[in-house]
């Protein structure tokens, strides 16, 4: 049987599992109530080498392959707070990979290396009030002024936004070219003209801070542009594959852990004189959930293998075949996770609707996955194009 994980991967798994279960999980309720988790979490993950496990050694990482990132995303959900998992994954798999791939040595030293150490918090600035999955519709713009760029605009739904030290920002540099007139910038949040409009009040993932940001005549040096001018949309489409794939891994494993917790509840909970799990109907529903999770997991592993081959073996761009598979995985996982979480809540009956039970929070948290990083509808649109429809 094909096994993607080596002994070193499994040692790393134990490291991340211990971090999630022993150092993070005991604080889950406290951080959910406060609406944010503390900055030491980023620093501690950096000290343990978790952020940088799949980054090159010369960039401040450990030189591992993409399966280290898969392991991390599978174990983070054990912290019992999807908001914490999301904040950490934005740091290592969404806001920073493009710096490793495109950045100058100066940019790597100033932004990436300290982010992998957990000394700087990163955010990814893409979505806007009028442009979510329709990235081509962004309005934030950057105009060249001598040796600087001057940026004006607004971003929203930005994870880590209230406390980020820098934002990996997408802005229009040539509005007349539409999607092909975008560029990426690395923006220190200490820059004059940057601001946080407000922290958003979400129905789920409440332990992660999500913000609206604004940029008003914000001037940054041209050396903070990431990659070539007007190539940002192409870079983003490559970066999205890591975001969507690692999000699929995390969401699916979060659902799996909730199935295990729900099984334990169904064994102990009696209804009409018998444990719930002794009823044939519920036995079959749990079997169905395991089948769907294992099937989705196998497909996600196929995607991860393709991604790992493109990025870490061939060391090139993500292929269109991988893009198609990752888009399919996001749709599949979104549907499976939604169905599984809803079934797990149902097995709890009325208690599933009470906040003191973990399923209530997990059910709310899981709903984001069919929206964030590209809606399920947008993913189906991409797959249709890649299938030639």
Bridge partners, 274 (sequence order): 271
| Tokens 């990163």 sit on residue | 122
The CATH 1.10.540.10 portion of the chain extends over 7-120
pLDDT at 378: 94
HSE, side-chain direction, 13 A CA sphere, residue 189: 21
Q: 204 pLDDT exceeds 70?
A: yes
CATH 1.20.140.10 is right for the domain spanning 232-386: yes
| Tokens 């039970």 sit on residue | 357
pLDDT mean over 47-55 = 98
Percentage of residues in the chain having pLDDT higher than 90: 94
- Determine the Cα–Cα distance for residues 381 and 24; give it in Å rounded to an integer: 38
- Determine the Cα–Cα distance for residues 16 and 2; give it in Å rounded to an integer: 23
Encoding tokens for residue 219?
């001037």
Mean pLDDT of the chain: 96
123-226 topology per CATH: Butyryl-CoA Dehydrogenase, subunit A; domain 2 (2.40.110)
pLDDT band, very low/low/confident/very high, at 133 (cuts 50, 70, 90): confident
pLDDT mean over 159-163 = 96
pLDDT at 183: 97
pLDDT band, very low/low/confident/very high, at 261 (cuts 50, 70, 90): very high
pLDDT tens for 162-175 read 999 999 999 999 98
- Determine the Cα–Cα distance for residues 76 and 264; give it in Å rounded to an integer: 21
DSSP 78: G
pLDDT band, very low/low/confident/very high, at 134 (cuts 50, 70, 90): confident
- Determine the Cα–Cα distance for residues 271 and 274; give it in Å rounded to an integer: 6
The vertex-379 CA angle with 171 and 210, nearest 5°, equals 50
Per-position DSSP letters for 1-55, written without gaps between them: ------HHHHHHHHHHHHIIIIIIGGGHHHHHHHTS--THHHHHHHHTT-TTTTS
pLDDT at 130: 86
- Determine the Cα–Cα distance for residues 94 and 239; give it in Å rounded to an integer: 7
pLDDT tens for 312-352 read 999 999 999 999 999 999 999 999 999 999 999 999 999 99
Q: 69 pLDDT exceeds 80?
A: yes
pLDDT tens for 263-279 read 999 999 988 999 999 99
pLDDT at 178: 82
CATH fit for domain 7-120, picks 1.10.357.10, 3.40.50.300, 1.10.540.10, 3.40.50.1100: 1.10.540.10
pLDDT band, very low/low/confident/very high, at 135 (cuts 50, 70, 90): confident
pLDDT mean over 187-201 = 97
Q: 1 pLDDT exceeds 80?
A: no
The CATH 1.20.140.10 portion of the chain extends over 232-386
DSSP 63: -
Q: Is 205 exposed, middle or buried (0-12, 13-18, 19+ CB in 10 A)?
A: buried
Instruction: Report how far Cα 330 is from the mean position of its chain's Cα atoms.
Output: 12
The residues that are catalytic are 243
């Amino acid at each position: 049987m094909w096994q993607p994980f080596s002994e070193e991967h499994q040692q790393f798994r134990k490291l991340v599992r211990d971090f999630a279960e022993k150092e993070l999980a005991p604080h889950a309720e406290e951080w959910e109530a406060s609406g944010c988790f503390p900055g030491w979490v980023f620093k501690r993950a950096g000290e343990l080498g978790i952020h940088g496990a799949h980054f090159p050694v010369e960039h401040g990482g450990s030189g591992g392959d993409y399966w280290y990132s898969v392991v991390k995303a599978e174990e983070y959900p054990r912290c019992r707070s999807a908001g914490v998992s999301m904040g950490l994954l934005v740091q290592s798999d969404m806001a920073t990979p493009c710096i490793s791939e495109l950045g100058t040595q100066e940019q790597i030293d100033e932004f990436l290396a300290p982010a992998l150490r957990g000394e700087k918090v990163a955010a990814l600035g893409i979505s806007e009030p009028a442009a979510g999955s329709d990235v081509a519709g962004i309005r934030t713009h950057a105009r060249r002024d001598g040796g600087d760029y001057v940026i004006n605009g607004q971003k929203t739904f930005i994870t880590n936004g209230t406390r980020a030290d820098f934002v990996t920002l997408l802005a229009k540099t040539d509005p007349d070219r539409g999607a092909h007139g975008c560029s990426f910038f690395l923006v220190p949040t200490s820059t004059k003209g940057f601001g946080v409009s407000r922290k958003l009040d979400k129905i789920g993932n409440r332990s992660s801070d999500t913000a609206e940001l604004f940029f008003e005549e914000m001037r940054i040096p041209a050396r903070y542009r990431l990659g070539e001018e007007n190539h940002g949309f192409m870079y983003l489409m490559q970066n999205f594959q890591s975001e969507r794939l690692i999000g699929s891994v995390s969401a699916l494993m979060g659902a799996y852990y909730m199935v295990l917790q729900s099984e334990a509840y169904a064994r102990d909970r009696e209804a009409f004189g018998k444990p719930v799990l002794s009823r044939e109907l519920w036995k079959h529903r749990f079997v169905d959930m395991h089948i769907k999770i294992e099937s989705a997991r196998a497909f996600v592993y196929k995607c991860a293998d393709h991604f790992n081959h493109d990025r870490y073996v061939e060391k090139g761009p993500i292929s269109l075949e991988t893009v198609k598979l990752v888009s399919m995985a996001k749709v599949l996982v979104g549907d499976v996770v939604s169905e599984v979480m809803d079934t797990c809540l149902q097995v709890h009956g009325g208690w599933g609707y009470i906040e003191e039970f973990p399923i209530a929070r997990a059910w709310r948290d899981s709903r984001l996955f069919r929206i964030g990083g590209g809606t399920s509808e947008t993913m189906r649109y991409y797959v249709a194009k890649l299938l030639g429809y």
